[in-house]
Amino acid sequence: MIVFRYLAREVLHSTVAVTGVLLLILVSGRFIKYLSEAASGDLAADVLFEIMAYRIPGFLELILPLGLFLGILLGYGRLYLESEMVVLNACGISQKRLVGYAMGPAALAAAIVALLSLWVSPMGAAETVRIFDEQKSRSQLESLTVGRFQTHTGKSRRVSYTDHIGDDGTLGRVFLMERTAKGVPAIVVAETGEKSSAGETGQEFLVLQKGVRYEGRPGQADFTETTFGEYGVRLNPPEIVSGVTKASAKPTAELLASDHRVDQAQLHWRFSLPILALVVTLLAVPLSQVNPRQGRYAKMLPSIILYLMYLMLLSTARSKIEDGKADVFALYAVHLVFLAIALNLLFAGRFWSKLFDSIPMPRLRRKGGAA
């Protein structure tokens, strides 16, 4: 148990560190994307952190197996580099026993991935879809962003701009450009504006005060200029978007009852992620064996390439299932292939170790001779 706790601590520390770094990189990239959408008015700024919170479980279910794989490579690799594995081998701990010790953290990671993929991530995806549907259903006035020209699509294509939005919803200087029923461009400039509803009908209007309306075709001299004290602009009713249609947002119980190929592909993809965490553990243990003279990262590049091939083949199999070109067994066939590779690495470790050791790695040179 002392050796198990020591090895598990090494693997878990490396796994948590690698997973944290990868999650930070992925979350930062996605948050920048959502920030650009908020700046353009497609998303409200107050829902950004809520969206990211719901998306994190979906990120973790993909990052955690990779973090476990790299954690074993780094943790066990350090022990090989500092000759601690030599001492453990001298004490009777074989590579097969190391695999058994590694399966402890792997079982914990697989359980977390299963919880995320089967329950937490679908809930987060459904909430994310709901938030995006609500953002698409906002009225034109609610989606206005200060200091930006925004294009609103719908029955009448309209471009709007305002330089201020008060706490009570009143607008500062307002610019509107739209086309009339005859296709003639019309531009309205006003000092202030506010939202108003028309009695029982519920039709919303943007009421502008103290402004000018210009109507005419560019390049022609028949422009019409109208000065007004108050001018009402009808706001198009928001397009109500509802209903969860993405398979990734459906509960696992609903996928189990469905026979649609997209739902079946999503269901077995969720089952595949915990299996991925276990298989990559079997791959990582023999791949972590390094020669102290080569350095800690000697096998890191080929190991990562092998992992990416694994994940790419799983994704390809999922796409084939969604297109109806393959059966769900294709996903498990990929797992079986890489399980066979892992067992081959374990039982024919010397051959593969020599093969990986023969890969030339760049070496630093210094003055006076080779490093």
Residue pLDDT tens, the chain, 371 long: 788 888 889 899 999 999 999 999 999 999 998 888 777 667 777 888 999 999 999 999 999 999 999 999 988 888 877 777 777 777 777 778 888 888 999 999 999 999 999 999 999 998 988 888 777 766 555 556 666 777 665 555 677 778 777 776 678 788 878 777 677 888 888 888 877 766 555 567 778 888 888 888 877 777 888 888 888 777 665 555 555 467 888 889 999 988 899 999 999 999 999 999 999 999 998 888 877 776 666 678 888 999 999 999 999 999 999 998 889 999 999 999 999 999 888 876 555 455 555 555 555 454 544 44
CA-nearest of 348, 353, 332, 220 to 289 is 353
Closest CA to 70 of 11, 4, 110: 11
Residue whose C-alpha is closest to residue 275's, from 212, 321, 339: 339
* pLDDT at residue 362, rounded to an integer: 53
Distance of CA 66 to the CA centre of its chain: 15
pLDDT value, residue 351: 52
Q: Would you tell me how many other CB atoms lie within 10 Å of the CB of residue 359?
A: 11
What pLDDT is attached to residue 152? 64
Q: Can you tell me the distance from the alpha carbon of 39 to that of 45, in angstroms, rounded to the nearest whole number?
A: 8
pLDDT of 369 reads: 45
pLDDT of residue 360: 55
Sheet containing strand 203-215, edge to edge, reads: 150-152, 158-162, 174-179, 185-198, 203-215, 224-234
Judge if pTM exceeds 0.85: no
pLDDT of residue 139: 52
Q: What integer pLDDT is reported at residue 364 of this predicted model?
A: 45
Distant-in-sequence, close-in-space partners of 40: CB < 8 Å, separation ≥ 6: 145, 148, 150
Written as one letter, the residue type at 330 is A
